Structure 1
């Protein structure tokens, strides 16, 4: 056992009796609205891929799971607790106000803070964190973590070497256990399995988090940043569109029902989003994205009620790419003015004065329910 491991164990033993493992119940913060334009290319990701091809390697270098630091929030601790449970018992859990261990060696630092706490955390990094910034691991995806790309870019953390995880491919049960949500869509024309809704990782510690998840039966492919970014935006589009199209109905509607009864609206909106992503983010969604979205909705959305969450507005529905869609903006305004969602949040003005009357007159489902 080397000196680094011994020192780490001493720190963990001391930490186990500290208050860092004591997490407070979750509570919702005050709603905030923050949207801004972010038009940029993924040229660094292209460079990364070209360097890999030039190296002659057959596989990407992958880091192994190892003792890690997990940064948790008193308002949201589920993911931090799940990561600890999936580990091997040698992780260190801290809150943002606590210093990192004084080790020269690199180790994964999982940032499990909710999206609305990320900007303040990155703006007020303690000195020990600044020195270890390249070891940060950020999470995206789903209604819990959304899309934090704009925040990371503004703070200089949206680099191709930065570790990022699309975590929406798993669910944390009330008992704290994790369940894989990936979906097997069958073989493609080459006989290769088509997957949808799985987790994914990229960056320096991509292999570490992937090993931890897969050891606990959660699928998590390791990707280049360019491909990971496509998947993240695909998931963002899914969350934004399906939930928005569901909340405007007079009856409670699940994600699966949106796929079943409003498929034409879904298709129209997601294809418009795919075009906007090309212009605004230099992203082309991977072929088959519509099939994957409907597959996720039909398989995992039977019991998931559609909703809009105030504090997640900037990270899902309020993203500037989404707001460029006329159809999306109309539904968003209707959800606020007629259904009572997102109170107090400034939305783009309605561009179609007849939209509200259209919504009241029709949109019959296949079973005759409005």
Structure 2
């Protein structure tokens, strides 16, 4: 992949160090064999640009511009401070930074919140979404890279997932997949349970790889995967166990392989613990809750390394 930015690689990385990602877990009670039934449908390649549903695109950065370029010229780009119209039908693709989401809601007619908003952000959005009454919010896990504004995106395909990792969930998921296909990108349409598992895997990847890399100044994602694999593996196991227990889910087997393969695909990404509230902060809150209840910290390595770096 090209040089990325966390804001432009949804998973998207930016020239600035942006966030964490990760790699392993083998305790069988947290995994089940991979099931193709979790995929509601595999989006077929778009045949013509006319199939792309017009959309409102909120955010004119790398990702927003790339999505606009995949359309047929009838999308509406909404920039910072502008209102989202009530009468423009279709999905509302939110491509802003996480900390701008409050402003996006304020600028969007409430009647469209649950009906049309589609969130492209990285990290754990669930607590925030639920606090806004968006319990069934539509989301996209974007594993593609946009190196520079206006350049075509690069698909985040890996040696373990050559079909691509990008996934969408919700009413507009098929329309999103068609748009991405028109831009030469892959996209799976998943049901809610399958999407949540993949979202958590990506969160673990971000949190684990960024934290391990940050412990070793100058380490890229690739260096963390190659030279500090044991640290990454231990942290992934810890975070996967905590996430599985917290959400009452069972992850599919070979998580470490999938996440390390993605790390090799984006090996040059810098590492740094960023957007704590939306990423590592979710796991740290699980630790705090357990400790407050007199229970052992379910993520002791994670907590210790955050303290080592003065993040908490």
Q: How many residues matched?
A: 258
| Partner residue in 2 for 1:240 | 207
2:184 aligned partner: 217
Task: State the Cα deviation string for residues 24-69 of structure 1 (Å, max 9, x = none).
Answer: xx9x9xxxxxxxxxxxxxxxxxxxxxxx99xxxx959999631111
Unaligned runs of 5+ residues in structure 2 are 1-13, 17-36, 288-298
Structure 2 counterparts to residues 27-42 of structure 1, below 5 A: none
TM-score with structure 2 setting the length: 0.75
Residue pair 1:197, 1:292 contacting (<8 A) in 2 also: no
- CA contact 1:197–1:296 (8 Å) conserved in 2: no
> Is residue 280 from structure 1 mapped to residue 246 from structure 2 by the alignment?
yes
Matched, 1:180 2:173: no
Alignment-derived partner of residue 56 in structure 2: 69
**Which of 152, 163, 168 is the equivalent residue of 2:129?**
152
Q: Show the counterpart of 2:111.
A: 131
Alignment correspondent of 2:85: 100
Moved more, 89-98 or 199-208: 89-98
- Give 2:27's aligned residue: none
RMSD: 2.8
Mapping for residues 228-307 of structure 1, pairs under 5 Å: 228-249=195-216, 251-301=217-267, 303-307=268-272
Of 305, 314, 317 in structure 1, the residue corresponding to residue 277 of structure 2 is 314
1:282 to partner: Cα distance: 2.2
The answer for unaligned runs of 5 or more in structure 1 is 1-25, 29-51, 186-193, 337-341, 348-370
For residue 164 of structure 1, report the CA deviation from its aligned partner.
0.8
Change (3 A) 1:293 1:322: farther
In the alignment, does 2:51 pair up with 1:88? no
1:294 and 1:246 map into 2 onto residues whose CA distance is: 13
Q: Is the 8 A contact 1:277 1:284 kept in 2?
A: no
